[in-house]
Structure 1
Amino acid sequence: MWVDLLRAVALVLVIEGLLPFLAPERWREMMLRLSDVDGRSLRIFGGVLIGVGAVLLQFVH
Structure 2
Amino acid sequence: MLNNILIAFAIVLIIEGVGPMLFANKWQKFLTNLSQQPVNQLRATGGVLVTIGLVSLLYLL
TM-score bracket, normalised by the shorter chain, equals 0.7 to 0.9
Aligned residues: CA RMSD: 1.1
Provide, for residues 7-36 of structure 1, a one-character-per-residue CA deviation record: whole Å limited to 9, x for no partner. Answer: 111111011101111111100000000110
Provide, for residues 38-61 of structure 1, a one-character-per-residue CA deviation record: whole Å limited to 9, x for no partner. Answer: 211111101111111122223333
TM-score, normalization by structure 1: 0.86
Q: Count how many residue pairs are aligned between Structure 1 and Structure 2.
A: 61
TM-score, normalization by structure 2: 0.86
* Identity %, equivalent residues: 38
Q: Which amino acid aligns with 2:23?
A: A
Gaps of 5+ in 1: none
1:15 paired residue number? 15
Matched, 1:42 2:45: no
SS of corresponding position for 1:3: helix
Distance 1:19 1:60 in 2: 26
> After TM superposition, what 4+ stretches of structure 1 lie above 3 angstroms from structure 2?
none
Distance 1:52 1:39 in 2: 20
